[in-house]
Amino acid sequence: MRQAFALLALLAVTHPAAVQAAEEPVIEVKDRMTPPEWALLEREVLRAGSEAVEIFYRKYFDQRGFLEHVARWGILDGTDDAIETFHNWTLFHALGAGDLVLHRYHQALEGHFRQYSAVTTTTTDIAKHGVYYKEFYRYTDWLHAGEGLRGFFFQGLSDPAGARYLERMRRFAGLYMNEDPEALNYDPAHRIIRSVLNGSNGPLLRKLTPQDWIGDPVPGKFHLLHSGAGMRKMLDFTAEYPAMLAEVSDPVFNSAAGDNPLNLAATNLATAAYLLTGEEKYRKWVLEYTGAWRERTEANQGIIPGNIGLDGTIGGAYGGKWYKGIFMWDRERYEGSLASWGMWPGFGNAFLLTGDPAWIGALRRQIDILYAQGRTVNGRFMVFNNYGEKGWYRPRAYLFTDELAKVWAWTLDPELRKRLAGNPWIAFLSGEDARYPVNALRRELEGIRQRITRMRDDPTTPDTRLADWAMQFNPVSTQALVQLTCGGHRIDQGLDRLFGLLHSRLRYFDPERRRAGLPKDVAALITAMDPASVRVTLVNVNQTRPRTVIVQGGAYGEHRIREVESRGGRKAVNARHVTVRLAPGAGAELVIHDQRYANRPTMAMPWYGDLAPAAWQE
């Protein structure tokens, strides 16, 4: 990372046109503002969370960066859970957490790749020679790959110039663009990823066995978070093994060949590669593959199909039955909404790359269709989550409110706002629930305290826990910070297990330390958003030192800041970002007038203009 920054410094001298222009507008804030409660809480969440990451790391990782547990292959408690243990540390750093958080992430990631490259299986050939090959899953489904790789996708927010990161992102994206002759996962003629299990060894096209999913039996007793027997009970894994094998003996789990909508999460790789390089081939592939799925969804009356045959036909992998598929609409144990999960990264990435609202319209239309099938049960409106031979079934009280809130954050549709009356963040942005920021940040602080307390009371030893156990003690949560500082709707569970890229109205950078995130002592609160403007309060809680913050339009500079309005009047900007200088103890409310999705998105840091991070290496 230091080498990358050294290269950036050299670039500032040799490529002055790429560097932020000196005459760029600067907003001077000199009015004193007593630090509001929310600002002090925000800074404390960043400080306490950073300290807690270090405590957590020392508890569960060794000097090699290995997670201390019994490492094994399996979807219940295997590879994806091990890497998911630190899934949001990179995003936390990009919001303003301490540099040690990013350092510990790098150690844990490198250790994870080494640790699981050596994990093998005997009952299945899926990991006979190691889970990873070329640092990527040999074969996996994108429900679990998407969960595990979230931190990797966020890494570019803070470290886009890292040579190893750029090389990996190119290589991983190339696995789905047939750039690796050993991994021909994609069929360009039918625009499909050829198997539900895919990766660095290519598509797995044979019939599946239960062991492909569960892995090898492991003698001994373990703490297993995912077990229905309870997270605190000492479990005999071998005793549970037959029941788990029976669960995945269902014929639906036996068919690997053909495309599955969860594979749309693979577009996170090519989208991130585009944000790093600006190379059109990545954008083209994302739109080609996602476009095929949108066409199929439209052809299937607005509901995304659960499988596509190798011949490109809807339902072709299951005798023409569109609703069948692994983790799909007719799986009783899994909510049918899992079928929709792949749509969100895929269609959301296409929206980010084009600014075309039709992609979001397709997401909303499916939810509207599900609502139209809903019914009132015991006085409560419910929505069907599954579809099978007899049509829609299994009504649930969950009304896709998190998904609708994400659509609202993208579109700011006032009609949709009415359907989200119970969302406290959106209510706050509408002028209601004024205490929401303080309450949300207090919950985050309490969560840090509780998880660290529970971690210290954890009785397990490395030989009695599996990969999923430590996940429950990860002290970091980013939900409130993303909402309050960036104006994005993001949750650390559910839908966002697959939603690997950040979508937001604003993002911040520290020009003095040349890094992403809110600078030291600076707090931000977005108090209102509409399609043409965003209102944000910036505060320097330090009473003796000035601070400077760069405010960017969008997570990737996709929004153009046209003007900034403050007590000093309006100032034209017409750029991706604007610099704000805060005097000691100063604060102000700014109204940023912007044009959303007007720029090509990029992971470029503000002080290097539009030059793609890949060019920083040259």
DSSP string, 304-372: --S-B-TTS-BTGGGTT-TT-STTSTT-SSS-TTHHHHTHHHHHHHHHHHH--THHHHHHHHHHHHHHH
**Residue 600 forms part of a structural domain:** yes
CATH of the domain at 543: 2.60.40.1180
Q: Across all residues in the chain, what is the average pLDDT?
A: 90
Residues 6+ apart with CB under 8 A from 18: 11, 12, 608, 609, 610, 611
**Residue 230 forms part of a structural domain:** no
Phi (first) and psi of residue 183, to 5 degrees: -140, 70
Give the pTM.
0.94
Give the Cα separation of 588 and 566 in Å (integer): 7
- The model's pLDDT over 296-351, given as tens digits with 9 standing for 90+, comes to 999 999 999 999 999 999 999 999 999 999 888 987 665 546 677 889 999 999 99
Task: Classify 60 as helix, strand or coil.
Answer: helix
Where does the pLDDT of residue 618 fall: very low under 50, low under 70, confident under 90, or very high at 90 and above? low
Nearest C-alpha neighbor of 86 from the set 111, 119, 64? 111
- pLDDT at position 11: 45
Residue with tokens 């911040």: 508
- The model's pLDDT over 353-389, given as tens digits with 9 standing for 90+, comes to 999 999 999 999 999 999 998 999 999 999 988 899 9
Give the Cα separation of 406 and 423 in Å (integer): 11
**Residue 290 forms part of a structural domain:** no
Nearest C-alpha neighbor of 453 from the set 44, 68, 40, 59? 59
580 alpha-carbon distance from chain centroid: 28
**Residue 48 forms part of a structural domain:** no
**Residue 84 forms part of a structural domain:** no
Residues 6+ apart with CB under 8 A from 6: none
Does residue 84 contact residue 147 with C-beta atoms inside 8 Å? Answer: yes
Does residue 479 contact residue 493 with C-beta atoms inside 8 Å? Answer: no
Q: How many domains does the chain have?
A: 1
User: Cα separations (Å) of 304 from 36, 151, 400?
Assistant: 46, 27, 16
- pLDDT at position 21: 40
Give one word for 204, left, alpha or beta, with left for phi > 0 and alpha for psi -120 to 50.
Answer: beta
**Residue 170 forms part of a structural domain:** no
- Of residues 498 and 530, more confidently modeled: 530
Q: Which strands, in side-by-side order, build the sheet including 506-510?
A: 26-29, 577-582, 547-553, 506-510, 515-516
- The model's pLDDT over 79-90, given as tens digits with 9 standing for 90+, comes to 999 999 999 999
**Residue 508 forms part of a structural domain:** yes
**Residue 541 forms part of a structural domain:** yes
Residue 551's domain spans which residues? 2-30+504-617
Task: Classify 286 as helix, strand or coil.
Answer: helix
Give the Cα separation of 186 and 450 in Å (integer): 45
Give the Cα separation of 436 and 450 in Å (integer): 21
- The model's pLDDT over 202-247, given as tens digits with 9 standing for 90+, comes to 999 999 999 999 899 888 888 777 665 543 455 677 777 887 788 7
